[in-house]
Amino acid sequence: MSTLLSFEGLSNVRDLGGMRTSDGRTLVAGRLFRADQLFFATEADRGKLAAMGMRVVVDFRSEIEHDEKPDPELPDAKNLHLPIIKDVRAGITRDEQSNKGIMKMIMSGQGTDLAFIDTYMANMYRNFVVEPYANEQYARFVDAVIDSLQSGGAALWHCTAGKDRAGFATVILLETLGVSRDDIMADYLQTNECLEGVTKQLVSMLSSQAFGAGQTQLDEQAIEMMKHALAHFFRADEAFLAGAYAAADEQFGSFDAFLERGLGIDAAKREELQRLCLTR
């Protein structure tokens, strides 16, 4: 799987280097990085990111998220804002309005059904595949990664937590490079370990706002059930990513066909990305 890197203010910066493809090649370290939002990067963190040779930092967050917590500027790196979602979508975007949307579902009782959450989030992931706007943005992302690698630098991409929009961007690259589906899924699920502390803090904060003293008549058992459901919204789950894979099969016939027809990753572009990222 990808390697989690240590930062002071960031929780989910990972180097894809070391992952292996189905034909036995290895992703070169120090070229492809997935991350959570960079707003909380300390001065030391920014220095470390700059030393990693970034040529492009791709931000998949919405306009609201981007404006609330902008990325820092890194020397020699282009900041490229490619929002995957135009509007607010509870469960994917992490702005104040989205969080209120999740809490509304939780408080209504609908969002405490884990099967409902799995279906809801799988549908959100389906949108990464079926929405032309998302396709256009992910296609631009792939081109930006190739450009940065051709210039001898590295590429980093992120959303807010580095789980959904950035997670699917990682899936796109790993599928293009030839990493097995099992390894791709395992790397996606590794996000839960990386974000465990952050998720607990977020659940605690939102729970305090909703279930604080004098704000609810729910008993302790009901509150714990709601907290569990809330945490499920913020996790990486196989059922979520399965929604995107199913959509690719339904809309395009296969994930490879989605890469080619949906994102424009033809044979030449695939070979170039593999040349830049893989070694025997």
* Domains of the chain from N-terminus onward: 3-279 (3.90.190.10)
pLDDT string in tens for the chain (280-residue length): 899 999 999 999 999 999 999 999 999 999 999 999 999 999 999 999 999 999 999 999 999 899 989 999 999 999 999 999 887 665 566 666 666 777 777 777 665 678 888 998 999 999 999 999 999 999 999 999 999 999 999 999 999 999 999 999 999 999 999 999 999 999 999 999 998 888 888 778 777 766 665 555 556 777 777 778 878 888 999 999 999 999 999 999 999 999 999 999 999 999 999 999 999 8
Q: What is the pTM of this model?
A: 0.91
Residue 234 is predicted with a pLDDT of 83
User: Any residues with CB less than 8 A from the CB of 276 and at least 6 apart, and which?
Assistant: 31, 146, 149, 150
Residue 91 is predicted with a pLDDT of 58
Query: What are phi and psi for residue 110, nearest 5 degrees?
Result: -65, -40
Q: How far is CA 44 from CA 48, 51, 125, 126, 187, in A?
A: 6, 11, 34, 38, 27
User: Any residues with CB less than 8 A from the CB of 14 and at least 6 apart, and which?
Assistant: 2, 3, 4, 5, 33, 34, 35, 162, 190, 194
Where does residue 88 fall: left (phi above 0), alpha (psi -120 to 50 degrees), or beta otherwise?
Answer: beta
User: Any residues with CB less than 8 A from the CB of 250 and at least 6 apart, and which?
Assistant: none
Residue 215 is predicted with a pLDDT of 56
Residue type, 43: E
